[in-house]
Amino acid sequence: MCGIFGVFSHPEAANLTYLGLHALQHRGQESAGIVSSDGEEYYSHIQMGHVVDIFKKEILEKLKGHMAIGHVRYSTTGSSLLQNAQPFLVNYFRGYLAIAHNGNLVNYETLKEELEKEGSIFQSTMDSEVIVHLIAKSNSNSIIERIKEALYQVKGAYSLIFLTENKLIAARDPYGFRPLVLGKIKDGYVVSSETCAFDLIEAEFIREINPGEILIIDREGIYSDRIPSDKPRNSFCIFEHIYFARPDSIVFGKNVYLLRKNLGKILAQESPVDADLVVPVPDSGIPAAIGYSEESGIPFELGLIRNHYIGRTFIEPKQSIRHFGVKLKLNALKDVLKNKKIVLIDDSIVRGTTSRKIVKMLKAAGAKEVHMRISSPSTNYPCFYGIDTPTRRELIASSHTVDEIRKYITADSLYYLSLDGLKKAVKEDKNCYCYACFDGDYPVKFPKILKKLELTIF
């Protein structure tokens, strides 16, 4: 999962991109980068780390020009290395081209092997570089046609922003896995993974970029083209609603915060509990916990407090501290929890190790009972469309019953939101979401090389 942002025709393009990336920091914390241009020269700064630590005033002053694109990265394909950080800027025989990508290409290995046999030399291990090579290989004179040819060949999830000498180009895969939105600021335009970035810079939200659309922004205005495709239906990633997007964003046309509250309300309808308090796992569990509390009538309390400023720590005490990693992030409020029956709300359970530590922490703080409720169905399958989920054998729900998971995490009861309940919450009526992590029904089928991996993964 990554965050991308672009600005066209604004004198402070790099500064706005910095602010946009700051708003999208939740989508990736490994690296960040900005490429800007004045139409003649390109300026780039890419570094490992967080946005606020990378882009100091003196750096931003060097990123000149009226257009810019930016990227925050959480690696799914390719290691967490500087060479894999984006935006990816290349200088080929047709000129400069920069690209920022959110998503994951399922036929990346196949395409890379074919391109290398034809003489292409790759500078990174990220799948996004394949798109650049395909564009460079095209014989079409138009950059739009070259992009269309390249995107017709790649399969999987991609929301993209390209920067040329006189255009900002946005593209979204035909399935629409990842969000991408268009906004306006004064006489310029902005493109972002989420609308929350528009709120920060006071840009006006115009619309979503449609699945399969290529949006071209230049001095003449805005116009659209289409990626050639035989795709059967939209497949918006349901986990954008459940976890990834910021609660103050509008994603796939829906208010994320209100939708997550609705998940909690339906969860309360499906799995009532005789309890004293509803407690969220912060921050992702808070909206659903509010919804559960409102629907059930059980009071809401912040029984766990999150430390938002931990960063990374490389020092662990030699004397053993139980649940050290979790205790760095969360602290239980003993006076709130003591002798109380708790409904603990979280968005998902992946391996189960974190949930186990949190439940034990609550009980150590004096909770009488802990009933865990999850505002999504059980995660049974890995994602290949831009989310860094573990292999299937590492997903606890793929090989354990709900009661076995309950015993492992030491909860008094455990309930996952049903798939029907999830569809009810998002008002699913056109079969437009991807639920593959829950039901294994992958919209984009894997090529042979990934089929071999599938046997290992599954």
- Spatial CB neighbours of 41, under 8 Å, sequence gap ≥ 6: 64, 65
| Sign of the dihedral through C-alpha 77, 441, 390, 458 | negative
Domain 2-235: give its CATH architecture: 4-Layer Sandwich (3.60)
Distance, in Å, from the CA atom of 93 to the CA atom of 363, rounded to the nearest integer, reads 64
- Spatial CB neighbours of 48, under 8 Å, sequence gap ≥ 6: 30, 31, 80, 82, 85
Q: Contact at 8 Å (CB) between 335 and 307? A: no
Task: Say whether 196 is catalytic.
Answer: no
Which tokens belong to 207?
């619309």
For domain 255-314+322-431, which CATH number applies: 3.40.50.2300, 3.30.450.20, 3.40.50.2020, 3.40.120.10? 3.40.50.2020
pLDDT on residue 142:
93
What separation in angstroms does the CA of 219 have from each of 10, 177, 263, 303?
A: 12, 30, 44, 54
The pTM of this model reads: 0.91
pLDDT along the chain (458 residues), means of 10: 95 98 95 96 95 96 97 71 87 91 92 88 86 92 95 95 97 96 96 98 97 96 92 90 96 96 98 98 95 98 85 51 73 96 96 94 97 97 82 88 97 97 86 92 74 43
Distance, in Å, from the CA atom of 66 to the CA atom of 168, rounded to the nearest integer, reads 11
Query: How do the domains of the chain map onto residue ranges?
Result: 2-235, 255-314+322-431
Neighbours of 75 (CB within 10 A): 18
Which tokens belong to 178?
């990842």
Q: What is the SS3 assignment for 145?
A: helix
Q: What is the SS3 assignment for 345?
A: strand
Length of the chain: 458
Q: Contact at 8 Å (CB) between 398 and 247? A: no
